[in-house]
Amino acid sequence: MGPPKSVRTISQEAFDELVQENIEDLGMDPTEALQDAIQTLNLQGVDLSGIVTSIGEENPVIESLERLKELDGDWKEGGGDEKETVEWLDKLNDACNVDGSGNAAIATKKGALQLVCSICSKLASDGLVSALNTLVSLLHDLQSTEIFREIDGPRMVMNILNNTKENSSVLNSGFSVVSAAATGNEVLKEAFMNLKIDELIHQCLREFSRGSIPYLYDAVRVLLTSDDNRVVASEVYGYARKFAKIGIVEALVDSLHEGIKSPSLVSASVALKAVAVNDEICRAVADNGGIGAILRCIDDSGEQGEKVVARTCCSLLSKLAGSDSNKSAIVDRGGMDKLIKLAMRFSDDPNVLQEVMSLITVLSLRSPHNASRAIEAGAGDMVIQAMQRFPESELLQRSCCFMIRNLVVRNPENRTILLGNGIEKLIRKAKIYKSCKNAATDALRDLGLDNYNL
């Protein structure tokens, strides 16, 4: 990891002194003095996050923290009031979730993470939900997650999860803490894995009904996402293999079999996509009936107008189609026809169309047979209509160019069909976008056009 960037900071005491100097030495009124101090420090590049910059009223974060410190002291002396503690935790949580307030940063700077973690060790199940939810609001940036790591927060959370396995509400809040803490922090991902969070996740997937712990799926996604730019080589690929080895793939596929009515369908699909990092795991999804389940969900999403389900399932299927055997399974099950049907139902949504194009692109890669099946199913007409209807959708236009290339590069007969329907003009229009230029050039070249660079 590289060293953190140097940022100019100021203490609360120094900030308050500057405001007071403006009042006493320059004769400013309190509001003017405050605004001048903020403006001056901003011009100097000072980071004011975590600084209370309000006057005239008690900041709700400071008020909550002061009372929670008193209550924590009572707990240590054996006389804690859980009801009041929960009330003040909820007040702190609400204050930290006010958009643009900077209250979460203020709370972090005032020791809120250490305090709330201390309180967590004293509360029963009902109170733990409030405490854990408050932790989530405090884990808002790298600085806060590093504090959480330094005070051994992962072990504290895992102890809570392992000791309250029967309570889905506590588990859900606990997994939301895992997600918040591990986002953008490779060291915390490793800490949770070392504490065997994968085994706990597998147990919860097997013992609880689908959708009863929604943040569990989010935790899987975060733990398997390489999102810490301080790290040159992430370990998440190895974590995904561990997840698959202990049976999490099968448990997630079970969620897909429940179909579009399952409350966990979308989140389980996203989690499964994160786990499917190699050919072996992708084939394991198919071996457990995952391909058929996803195609059924795609059909149902079109019939019921569920755009989010449609996009998510197409995205998952694109990942699974990285395995050549899965490509054949998808097409053999009528996948091309189902995708064209889905595109027709959502012809007014460029985001769904983009996912369909991306999936057909993967299915047609190095597969002349699948490229022929795509054209037979209507992919040629679909791509022309999409490019005509959404000329300003840059991402969709690029996806169309990628798909066209795969449909024609090994299938000369497809070139004739697409060129006869006016595809060249549409590709050249897409070429005006910087992100489309290379894809459009390649598509024109593979269509057999000599002037593809123009």
* 288 within domain boundaries: no
Q: What is the pLDDT of residue 210?
A: 81
Judged by phi (left if over 0) then psi (alpha if -120 to 50, else beta), residue 422 lies in left
* 236 within domain boundaries: no
Report the percent of the chain where pLDDT is more than 70: 94
What is the spatial distance between Cα 312 and Cα 298, in angstroms, rounded to a whole number?
Answer: 9
Q: What is the pLDDT of residue 124?
A: 82
What is the spatial distance between Cα 46 and Cα 65, in angstroms, rounded to a whole number?
Answer: 25
Report the percent of the chain where pLDDT is more than 90: 77
Please indicate whether residue 256 or residue 55 has the higher confidence score (pLDDT).
256
pLDDT per position as a tens digit, 415-445 = 999 999 999 999 999 999 999 999 999 999 9
* 322 within domain boundaries: no
Q: What is the pLDDT of residue 4?
A: 46
Q: Would the pLDDT of 346 be above 80? A: yes
- Asked if 396 and 350 touch (Cβ cutoff 8 Å), the reply is yes
Q: What is the pLDDT of residue 18?
A: 72
Q: Would the pLDDT of 109 be above 60? A: yes
Mean pLDDT of the chain: 92
Q: Which residues contact 414 (CB under 8 A, 6 or more apart)?
A: 371, 372, 375, 380, 407, 408
Of 45-59, 68-82, 378-392, the range with the highest mean pLDDT is 378-392
Q: Would the pLDDT of 36 be above 80? A: no
Surface-to-core class of residue 229, CB atoms within 10 Å of its CB (0-12 exposed, 13-18 middle, 19+ buried): exposed
* 31 within domain boundaries: no
What is the spatial distance between Cα 48 and Cα 61, in angstroms, rounded to a whole number?
Answer: 16
- Asked if 286 and 329 touch (Cβ cutoff 8 Å), the reply is yes
- Asked if 237 and 194 touch (Cβ cutoff 8 Å), the reply is no
What is the spatial distance between Cα 285 and Cα 263, in angstroms, rounded to a whole number?
Answer: 20
Diameter of the chain measured on Cα atoms:
84
pLDDT per position as a tens digit, 197-220 = 999 999 999 999 888 999 999 999
* 401 within domain boundaries: yes
State the average pLDDT over residues 61-71.
Answer: 93
pLDDT per position as a tens digit, 154-185 = 999 999 999 999 999 999 999 999 999 999 99
Q: What is the pLDDT of residue 19?
A: 64
3-state secondary structure the chain: CCCCCCCEECCHHHHHHHHHHHHHHHCCCHHHHHHHHHHHHHHCCEECCCCCCCCCCCCHHHHHHHHHHHHHHHHHCCCCCHHHHHHHHHHHHHHHCCCCCCHHHHHHHCCHHHHHHHHHCCCCHHHHHHHHHHHHHHCCCHHHHHHHHHCCHHHHHHHHHHHCCCCHHHHHHHHHHHHHHHCCCHHHHHHHHHCCHHHHHHHHHHHCCCCCCHHHHHHHHHHCCCCCCCCCCCCHHHHHHHHHHCCHHHHHHHHHHCHHHCCCHHHHHHHHHHHCCCHHHHHHHHHCCHHHHHHHHHHHHHHHCCHHHHHHHHHHHHHHCCCHHHHHHHHHCCHHHHHHHHHHHCCCCHHHHHHHHHHHHHHHCCCHHHHHHHHHHCHHHHHHHHHHHCCCCHHHHHHHHHHHHHHHCCCHHHHHHHHHCCHHHHHHHHCCCHHHHHHHHHHHHHCCCCCCCC
Q: What is the pLDDT of residue 128?
A: 96
Per-residue tokens: 421:
């329907």
What is the spatial distance between Cα 281 and Cα 115, in angstroms, rounded to a whole number?
Answer: 42
Q: Would the pLDDT of 58 be above 90? A: no
What is the spatial distance between Cα 81 and Cα 205, in angstroms, rounded to a whole number?
Answer: 34
pLDDT interval class at 2 (50, 70, 90) = very low
Nearest of 356, 371, 376, 250 to residue 307 by alpha carbon: 356
Amino acid letter, residue 389: R
* 402 within domain boundaries: yes
State the average pLDDT over residues 391-409.
Answer: 97
Angle at 184 between CA 359 and CA 169, to 5 degrees: 85
| pTM to 2 decimal places | 0.87
* 269 within domain boundaries: no
For residue 363, give its domain range: 351-454
Angle at 322 between CA 445 and CA 404, to 5 degrees: 25
Q: Would the pLDDT of 94 be above 90? A: yes
Q: What is the pLDDT of residue 50?
A: 63
Q: Which residues contact 291 (CB under 8 A, 6 or more apart)?
A: 285, 317, 320, 326, 329, 330, 333
Into how many domains does the chain fold? 1
- Positive or negative CA dihedral for 69, 75, 76, 77? positive
Q: Would the pLDDT of 3 be above 50? A: no
Per-residue tokens: 36:
């001048």
pLDDT interval class at 37 (50, 70, 90) = low
pLDDT per position as a tens digit, 8-34 = 787 777 776 776 677 667 776 666 756
Angle at 398 between CA 393 and CA 402, to 5 degrees: 150
Per-residue tokens: 76:
């240590």
* 407 within domain boundaries: yes
Neighbours of 140 (CB within 10 A): 20
